[in-house]
Amino acid sequence: MVKTGFMERNLRVIFPLPAVVFVVVMMVFPVLYTLALSFTNWNLTSGMPISFVGLRSYIRVFSEPRFIAAIGRTFAFTGMAMTLETILGLAIALVLNREFLGKGLVKLFLLLPLVATPVAVGIVFNLFFDPTIGLANWALTMVGLPKSEWVSNAATVLPSLVLVDVWQWTPMITLICLAGLASLPADPFESARVDGASSPQIFMFITLPMLAPTILTAMILRLIDALKTFDIIFAMTGGGPGYASETLNILGFKYSFEYFKMGQASVMLVSLFIIVLASSLGIMKMRARSEG
């Protein structure tokens, strides 16, 4: 009985406790630990004990051209992927929002990429993109276009990776936009039509503004994910050719698990964390404005 009394008195603490413990152990601790490591010179290849070096790792990382280039690439990849995915995702959602024969089937096929494992997707696309024996070049030559080296060429690797990301993640934007479209009230559309508005006008002045918060939410989700993209890039190119597809996350992985420079790798990951946080806050502000 005493136990029950204790439980009842402390219910509001006990019920959220597992979630709080999970967040602290799995999220807060690793972030703080990484932050702490970023002020050390922990380097497994040196065989020396860890020591606190203040901002020295930060200085070395920030003066490394590969780091600066990787930040640029991370934004380029994210920008291209997010823009294409949003435009395509919204367009597909608008089409699917109408009634037509076989809509269910089309929806099903569109959502298939979402459930595929990114690494498996990467491996399949690698075969597809192979410059010599790949299907993509065969298809290009069939329609009379010149061959491309896809992910094997520094100039085309990033757009090719974006293509894979778009293939996989556009359906997610579609899904969110569809849900948004379904929840829009019918009245404004009806009155617009009565007043003689054309379809483009309805889209520009009614659908888009009303759907904006939904679209921005979808964009935040994609932004956070795209900035952190690791699996597809790692499985397909490992950051190559050369460093041509080395984003911040890939560089951080290389510094930690291939170069074993844990201190400097932590600096990179702290930077990525700040970038993701700042970009998300930026879009969230836009969303608040669009709602207000």
Partner 1 sequence: MKKFIFVILASLMVIGASAQTKEIRVLLANHPYGDLLKAAIPEFEQKTGIKVNLEQYQESQLSTKLATEFATGSSTVDVFMTRPLQEAKMFYKNGWYKPLTSYDFSDFPKNALSVVSFGSKTYTVPIVTEWQVLYYRIDLLKKAGIKVPTTFAELEAAAKKLNTPDVAGIASRGKGNAAVTQISSFMYNYGGLFLNKGKAAFNTKEALEGVKYYGRLIGTYGPAGVTAMSWDNIMPLFQAGKVAMWTDASVFYGNIIDPTKSQVPKESVGIANVPAGPKGSHPFIVVSWGMAVSNKTKNADLANQFLTWATSPEMAKRALIANITMARNSPWADKEVLAQVNPDLVTTRAFAAKNGFPYDRPYMSAVGEARDRIGELIVEAINSKGTSPTLQSTADKMAAKVNELLEDTGEYGVQ
Which residues of the shown chain bind partner 1 in the complex (CB under 8 A)?
43-48, 130-133, 147, 149-154, 157, 237, 240-243, 254, 257-261
Q: Which is nearer to partner 1, 45 or 51 (CB)?
A: 45
**161-185 as b/e: b if 16+ CB within 10 A:** bbbbbbbbbbbbbbbbbbebbeeee
Residue 43 C-beta: closest distance to partner 1, Å: 7
Q: Which is nearer to partner 1, 43 or 290 (CB)?
A: 43
Residue 57 C-beta: closest distance to partner 1, Å: 12
Q: Which is nearer to partner 1, 51 or 132 (CB)?
A: 132
Q: Which is nearer to partner 1, 77 or 150 (CB)?
A: 150
Residue 273 C-beta: closest distance to partner 1, Å: 21
Residue 165 C-beta: closest distance to partner 1, Å: 18
Residue 47 C-beta: closest distance to partner 1, Å: 3
Q: Which is nearer to partner 1, 157 or 272 (CB)?
A: 157
Q: Which is nearer to partner 1, 178 or 235 (CB)?
A: 235
Q: Which is nearer to partner 1, 66 or 107 (CB)?
A: 66
Going by C-alpha positions, the residue among 215, 219, 143 that lies closest to residue 179 is: 215
Q: What angle do CA 78, 76, 80 make, to 5 degrees?
A: 55
Residue 257 C-beta: closest distance to partner 1, Å: 4
Going by C-alpha positions, the residue among 268, 187, 186 that lies closest to residue 228 is: 268
Residue 249 C-beta: closest distance to partner 1, Å: 16
